[in-house]
Amino acid sequence: MSPAVAEPVEHRAPAGEGEEAAGAAGPLFALRDIGKTFANGTVALDGLDFTVGRHAFVSLLGPSGCGKSTVLRLIAGLTRPSRGRLVWHRQIARGDIGFVFQEPTLMPWATVFDNVRLPLRLQGRGRQEVREEVERALAMVGLEEFAGAYPRELSGGMKMRASIARALVTRPRLLLMDEPFAALDEITRFKLNNELLDLWARENWTVVFVTHSVYESVYLSQRILVMASRPGRITAEIPIDAPYPRDEAFRLSPAYTEACRRVSAELRRAMGE
Amino acid sequence: MAVALETETLTAAVPGGARRTGARLELAVRILGPLALLALILGGWELLVRVNEIPPYILPGPVAVLQSLVDDWQSLYPSLLVTLRITFLALAVAVIGGVGLAILFSLSRWIEMSLFPLAVILQVTPVVSIAPLILIYVDNITLALLICAWIVAFFPILSNTTLGLASADHNLRDLFELYGASRWQQLVHLRLPSALPYFLGGLRIAGGLSLIGAIVAEFAAGTGGTGSGLAFRILEAGWRLEIPRMFAALLLISMAGILIFLAFTALQHLLLRRWHASATARER
């Protein structure tokens, strides 16, 4: 089955400032004055305050060690804030959040099928019962032919697809992605960027995407939050108003170049240059 | 936009017959090399014995040893079975105890911190020096031998499995937490599979060690009768100056050790060949 989208994708409302950034569909969650201090005294995050709207595509952009990953872990509930609150505007259940790590993080002893099945298996659902769900997720990332392969038999890009399929198998409402394409070559990264946008447009997820690439964040996002380090904080919030679907033509457009220039300037400022 | 399948193939193409010929040559060298060396050593040994007319009660040649193996098969074979029984029983208990304890360690830091030093003490104390004590306190000889063999066999399994259980990928652990996995699910679906290669490495060492433990304990026990193992046959033959028989018993012990090692190597290959880097061919 080809997961191609034939019909035109509806134009999404451009993001505004502050609460309005939540967009037309209303807010999904908000971080309220969140701070995180690690046990060794390192202040990882300080005064984080932003809202993410339903069906939004938001990127966190910043240098290494600025706490981007910690923000994702906070949202996923894998770590608790030392200060402030995480407010959910919609009821969130287990399986509503999908997480994609920088590494594919697959279980090497299990086939692609069993790796993708893992979240459903942990919910106590049987192999036959979830077959369709797993096959649907594999089809979404174009891996249906490789269900029986082991991770070591796959290329880097295919491993990442499997990892994404695993995050999608529970039909999440929120997808948290921690530099998922950073280790891939550029051509594969561009391809997966496009596929991610296609799926996002079809499936109506909310995506919070962590990256250190200005170009990737501009290409993908409706809104970019630029972060500075020590302590991790948000120094700028930049809406990217270009309409979707975005494709290679967008990469060559003056609007793209202009946005990259602005975001780069903000990133340099955040890094204290 | 369609999601196009990447064009990478599953495995790199083998460049013609060159690699196959190379592999065949390597296999031949791996098998024939050691065999040729062994034949050379045995031939030299036999020659040395014959040319110098060394009597068999001082140094028997390989032929005399083999002859003795055939002649004394009636007494050596049952002893081999006795030794192997102790070896495998000890190994089985070591696997159950070692893995069980390792799982307990992974569940509780307190248990690990309290028990691990004791396990180390057991490991570093030579079994030869504990065996006589165990033989004094444990009436049942078989049980005493079993305990000795277990003491040496269980540590590699415990320490390797403990390491393996702790080496589960951190991101995978986060993922399990995200999906609300129970401790049991984490153990079964994540920690145990992660520990498998480590456990199998430990098993391979423990297999040889349990044989050594069984032999050492038999030596310390030094008892005869119908239930005596190969070590006693060596002692007995020594007292009677039946040197070829000593060599024959030694040969059986070595063969048993080699077979145990090969069997566990095969098991390791079988269980890991699909996924673990240690068992898969590297593309060059």
How many domains in chain A?
2
Size of interface A-B (CB pairs under 8 A): 92
Digit-coded pLDDT (tens) for B173-189? 999 999 989 999 999 99
Given the structure tokens 């044989």, which residue do they identify?
B211
- Among the candidates A171, A192, A217, a domain finishes at A171
Same domain? A164 vs A241: no
Identify whether A215 is part of a domain.
yes
CB B79 within 8 A of CB B230: yes
Q: What is the pLDDT of residue A6?
A: 34
Helix, strand, coil percentages (3-state) for chain B, rounded to 5, are 75, 0, 25
pLDDT digits (tens, 9 = 90+) for A130-148: 899 899 889 888 888 999 9
What percentage of chain B reaches a pLDDT higher than 90?
50
Q: Are residues A235 and A178 in the same domain?
A: yes
pLDDT at residue A8 in the model: 33
CATH match of B57-272 with 1.10.3720.10: yes
Is residue A124 domain-shared with residue A179, that is, in the same domain?
no
- Would residue A37 count as lying in a domain? yes
pLDDT score at A10 = 33
**Does position A19 have pLDDT exceeding 70, yes or no?**
no
B133-144 mean pLDDT: 87
pLDDT in tens, B53-66: 998 888 999 999 99
Window 185-244 of A, Cβ < 8 Å to B: 188, 191, 194-195, 198
DSSP A195-235: HHHHHHHHH--EEEEEES-HHHHHHH-SEEEEEETTTBEEE
Same domain, A164 and A223: no
Strand pairing report for A27-37 and A83-88: antiparallel
Q: The sheet that has A43-53: what strands, in order across it?
A: A43-53, A27-37, A83-88
Instruction: Indicate whether A18 pLDDT > 70.
Output: no
> Nearest chain A Cα to B1, which residue?
A4
The answer on A180 and A225 residing in a single domain is yes
| Predicted confidence (pLDDT) per residue in B187-223, tens digit | 999 999 999 999 999 999 999 999 999 998 888 887 6
- Quickly tell me which residue has 């003491």 as its tokens: B151
Residue that finishes a domain, picked among A156, A171, A186: A171
What are the sequence ranges of the domains in chain B?
22-53, 57-272
What amino acid is encoded at A148 in this protein? G
pLDDT band at A72, cuts 50/70/90?
very high
Classify residue A11: in a domain, yes or no: no
pLDDT computed for residue B261 by the predictor = 92
The predicted structure's pLDDT at residue A5: 33
The reply to whether A97 falls in a domain is no
What pLDDT was estimated at residue B225? 58
Out of A236-240, B6-10, B165-169, least confident range? B6-10
A202 and A262 part of one domain: yes
pLDDT score of B163: 92
Structure confidence at residue B14 as a pLDDT band (50, 70, 90) = very low
What value does the mean pLDDT take over residues B257-280?
87
Q: How far apart are CA A192 and CA A155, in angstroms?
A: 13
Task: Indicate the Cα dihedral angle B259, B263, B266, B268, nearest 10°.
Answer: -130
Pairwise CA distance, residues A44 & A30, whole Å: 18
Q: Under an 8 A CB cutoff, do B11 and A153 touch? A: yes
The C-alpha of B22 sits at a distance from chain A's nearest C-alpha, in angstroms, of 23
Query: In terms of domains, do A215 and A258 share one?
Result: yes
What DSSP line would sit under B141-193, residue for residue? HHHHHHHHHHHHHHHHHHHHHHHHHHTS-HHHHHHHHHTT--HHHHIIIIIHH
pLDDT tens-digit map of A235-253: 989 998 888 888 888 989 9
Q: pLDDT, tens digit, for every residue of B223-250? A: 665 568 899 889 888 889 889 999 999 9
The average confidence (pLDDT) of chain B is: 86
In a domain, residue A147? The reply is: yes
Mean pLDDT, chain A, integer = 85
What pLDDT, on a 0 to 100 scale, did the predictor assign at position B227? 67
Domain boundary among A171, A202, A218: A171
**A9 near B CB under 8 A:** no
Range of the domain at A27: 18-92+173-270
> Is position A39 within any domain?
yes
Output b/e per residue, A243-254; b: 16+ Cβ within 10 A: ebebeeebeeee
Distance CA B30, CA B267 (A): 20
The reply to whether A163 and A265 lie within a common domain is no
Cβ contacts of B276 on chain A, cutoff 8 Å: 108-109
For residue A264, the domain's CATH number is 3.40.50.300
pTM: 0.81
A187 and A151 fall within a common domain: no
Instruction: Let me know if residue A264 belongs to a domain.
Output: yes
Distance CA(A232)–CA(A63), nearest Å, equals 10
Query: What was the pLDDT predicted at A226?
Result: 93
Amino acid present at A17: E
CA distance A143 to chain B (A): 7
